[in-house]
Structure 1
Amino acid sequence: YWFEMENSLRINEDGDMQFINETEYDWQLSQVSYLQPRLEVVANLTDSEKYDRQSGLSNIRVGLRYRHEIVREVAPYVGVYYSKALGNTADALKAEGKSTSETGVVLGARIWF
């Protein structure tokens, strides 16, 4: 009944800081099938000219994955996501004439041994 969260604070040699939060939840559909909603939030704590990042809440990504365990150690998945740039990052992308949102499909496998 718990959410899995991964929080990261990234600091590079120039002192640029970025905070990333990834949250997911495994909803068990059957003994071997799972539906996994996901949320990722990125906040830039400082401006970074080197990486063209603006300070503030940068982007948000929501997604949904379906995973099927062939055996406990091997579980392929397929999913969709929607990503949206926010705040100063969105303003910078608009000024460059670029899109501030993205939709995509992911395919992969969860493998452990």
Structure 2
Amino acid sequence: MKIRLLLLSALIATLTAGCTWVKLTPQGEEARVLKPNQVASCKPMGTTTVQVAATVLGVPRPRRDVEHDLQALARNAVQNAGGDTIVPEGQPVDGRQTFAMYRCINP
């Protein structure tokens, strides 16, 4: 029984390793990710909080993949809000992260 559980866990980890599920829209591809000190001359557009699965069947997804998906969702969202730039506010927690949105091009 322990061996089956171990093999199942290894299989799930292998299948989810390197998986990113969120695709950038064409508009989201144009959005930038900057640091707070790089948006001083930009117009604030509010914030967006996005969330993705941090685990799959109880197995944690790689942090890099979670962060990639969160940024992709936020980049898609900023374009829908009329902005062009996002800035992460803190680190992801349980697959959830808040981003500040800005319009930096033609503010």
TM-score (norm 2): 0.31
Higher strand share: 1
Higher relative contact order (CA 8 A, sep 6+): 2
